[in-house]
Structure 1
Amino acid sequence: MKLFSTKGGVTEVAPRLADEEAEVQGLVEAHMEAMLGVRFLASEYSTGPVHGGRIDSLGLDENGAPAIVEYKRATDPGVINQGLFYMSWLVDHRDAFRRLVRDRLGREAAAAVLWSAPRLICVAGDFTRYDIHAVREQRHLIDLVRYRIFGDDHFGLETIASGGGGQASPKAWRRRGPASEQRASGPDKVTAELAAAADEVLLGLGEGITKVENQTYIAYQRLQNFACLVPRKARLLVYLKASPAKVDLIPGFTRDVTGLGHQGTGNLEVQLRSVRDVERAQELFRMSYAAA
């Protein structure tokens, strides 16, 4: 990506790497939720004298999943293996992580940690083609994010590759829904068919899209969530990251839910009642994907 200043003509703003890894880490940790969709929990977290490691950053993502963030100033072929080493430790020390979440975010957040989808986010100056291939072969949720610094005031992040994670499918809602739906009446055939149609469109928006099944929704993720499917009787609710202020809201189809409690993430609600509604929503899906 090239960045140009248009003041007094057109001048390219040359990208650069940080002088030290700590510069990148400090900036991301100070704004982690805005940059990565992850709530910051701890920096340089010690894994104890036996394991002998120190996790750069620990956080909780917007689906309630544990997130490890590792930083490298430039290219480091060992960053993925290092992160997986820490992820293995984290999964084996769930109680320690729950205590950390409880102390920082409260008991409710600690009780709802999503252990089925722990994440590793690697932020580095660049990655090798072997790193990108390794991520696509992994069963763990891994995001490779390249950073660049432009001038004195601009910091860029670009997702190079994402991979891993479960293969939760809305088609399964014909047989079972998320936990809350199982306790209720469960989604019907119409809802399942709408979810399958939406799933096909959402996955077709680009590469590196992962799906995470929460107790009450399925999230489509491109580093951050860009769509969440929530089943209801005879309809499907989709929550998008697209800004409601940039959309002509249509009663019964789209709604601004900013500040309103709801399942999933995103401030734009789209109500799908037919396959035609899925077709109408495609541009909104693309807007949300671009915003994530």
Structure 2
Amino acid sequence: MSDLKLFRLDAAGRDVELHGSTVALEVELQRRIEAGMEAMLGIRFLASEYPTGPWHRGRIDTLGLDENGSPVVIELKKGSDSGVMSQAVSYLSWLESAQHEFEALVRKVLGAEAAEAIDWRRPRTICIAAGFSHHDRVAVQRLPERIDLVRYRVFEGGLLSLLLVDSSPGSPTVASSRRNQERCAEVDSAPAALVAPSPTSVGLVPECLRDLYMELDGALTAWGEVEVASLRHYIAYRRLVNVASVIFRPKHEAILVYLRLDPDAVELEEGFTRDMRGIGHLGTGDLEVRIVSAADLEKAAPLIRRAFEAA
């Protein structure tokens, strides 16, 4: 659905459509997105109006690091601008050539641990605008870069809507820096449990969990457009933000699923669901669901549905 409609009940109990508009100044949108980008997009703020130097000749509206450790360039347009795609590609090119500069920025703003965990295989651009042309949407699907097209609208009462209208997972890149080569080698040598499986590469899944995972994957991809991202230590199922993260525990013949759900809104069950707030863990999501059987997967289905409906 590319056309979001919002309604409210009037005094007579009738639905009245709220008509969205665009911001008067682009900086209004930028300030709002930057102030709430972690909640809205799962991205930690790094810098605003960041200069790209004499070759790329521009200023990136917003730089960030997403919840999976991927560098993010955010470009904002108050209206519809045919140049947003060319800017997106240009700034991703700058990002690949400025890895050390970006790592230094992350270290300064977020600390050494975040800088060491940057995943250079999957840098991305998010273009936020009032609208996109058909040609923009076609281009996203043809380009090898990882790009999200997000349409915004503002409504009375301070409401802001963000709608993902098109997205390309891109092709993982292998940067030439020695540090990134070492990181990629580390990933390549990781045990099978940490490599993202798919229907075409089920040999990478622990044998004891293969059938169970295939059923789980079907449940996690049944809710419309979902990107499945192969990361260092988990598999992310995402839209604009991670909705679920999957980790294998072959020694215990278990799959752990971390859902983007408020544990306070769930009746926790010992041995099946757990509140992970304040507990360090791989993946993202505050609710852990432990799946060891088809019965567990069936019991988890309503929780998975709730997570994706809220995303």
TM-score by length of 1: 0.89
- 8 Å contact 1:165–1:211 — kept in the other structure? no
Is 1:267–2:270 an aligned residue pair? no
Is 1:8–2:11 an aligned residue pair? yes
Q: Could you say if the C-alpha distance between residues 177 and 140 of structure 1 is closer, same or farther in structure 2, counting changes exceeding 3 Å?
A: farther
Choose from 175, 180, 201 the match for 2:219.
201
Q: In structure 1, what residue type is equivalent to 2:282?
A: Q
* 1:207-264 superposed Cα distances (whole Å, 9 cap, x missing partner): 2x21222221111110100010011121100000022222222222111212211110
Choose from 261, 266, 280 the match for 1:242.
261
Give, in whole Å, the separation in 2 of the partners of 1:255 and 1:245: 11
Give, in whole Å, the separation in 2 of the partners of 1:245 and 1:136: 39
* TM-aligned CA deviation for residue 166 of structure 1: 5.3
Q: Could you say if the C-alpha distance between residues 137 and 50 of structure 1 is closer, same or farther in structure 2, counting changes exceeding 3 Å?
A: closer
* TM-aligned CA deviation for residue 106 of structure 1: 0.5
Match of 2:175 in 1: none
Q: Could you say if the C-alpha distance between residues 15 and 192 of structure 1 is closer, same or farther in structure 2, counting changes exceeding 3 Å?
A: same
Give, in whole Å, the separation in 2 of the partners of 1:140 and 1:177: 27
Q: In structure 1, what residue type is equivalent to 2:220?
A: L
Give, in whole Å, the separation in 2 of the partners of 1:145 and 1:34: 15
Q: Could you say if the C-alpha distance between residues 49 and 215 of structure 1 is closer, same or farther in structure 2, counting changes exceeding 3 Å?
A: same
Worse overlay, 65-74 or 137-146: 137-146
* TM-aligned CA deviation for residue 271 of structure 1: 0.6
Worse overlay, 91-100 or 12-21: 12-21
Q: In structure 2, what residue type is equivalent to 1:21?
A: E
Match of 1:283 in 2: 302
Q: Could you say if the C-alpha distance between residues 204 and 136 of structure 1 is closer, same or farther in structure 2, counting changes exceeding 3 Å?
A: farther
Choose from 16, 19, 28 the match for 1:23.
28
Choose from 166, 180, 192 the match for 1:176.
192
Match of 2:210 in 1: 192
* 1:91-127 superposed Cα distances (whole Å, 9 cap, x missing partner): 1110000000000000111011011111111111011
Worse overlay, 75-84 or 223-232: 75-84
TM-score by length of 2: 0.84
Match of 2:185 in 1: none
Match of 1:63 in 2: 68
- 8 Å contact 2:234–2:283 — kept in the other structure? yes
Q: Percent identity?
A: 44
* TM-aligned CA deviation for residue 152 of structure 1: 4.2
SS in 2 for 1:70: strand
Give, in whole Å, the separation in 2 of the partners of 1:273 and 1:124: 43
Give, in whole Å, the separation in 1 of the partners of 2:279 and 2:126: 29
Structure 2: state its 5+ residue gaps.
173-187, 196-203
Give, in whole Å, the separation in 2 of the partners of 1:214 and 1:267: 19
Q: Which runs of 4+ in 1 moved over 4 A?
A: none
* 1:175-200 superposed Cα distances (whole Å, 9 cap, x missing partner): 82327xxxxxx973122332232222
* TM-aligned CA deviation for residue 287 of structure 1: 1.3
SS in 1 for 2:87: helix
Match of 1:161 in 2: 166
Match of 1:102 in 2: 107
Match of 2:240 in 1: 223
Match of 2:177 in 1: none
Give, in whole Å, the separation in 2 of the partners of 1:2 and 1:166: 33
- 8 Å contact 1:166–1:211 — kept in the other structure? no
- 8 Å contact 1:69–1:121 — kept in the other structure? yes
- 8 Å contact 2:193–2:206 — kept in the other structure? no
* TM-aligned CA deviation for residue 201 of structure 1: 2.1
- 8 Å contact 2:56–2:91 — kept in the other structure? no
Match of 1:252 in 2: 271
- 8 Å contact 1:165–1:210 — kept in the other structure? no
Match of 1:183 in 2: none
Q: Could you say if the C-alpha distance between residues 177 and 102 of structure 1 is closer, same or farther in structure 2, counting changes exceeding 3 Å?
A: same
Q: In structure 1, what residue type is equivalent to 2:5?
A: K
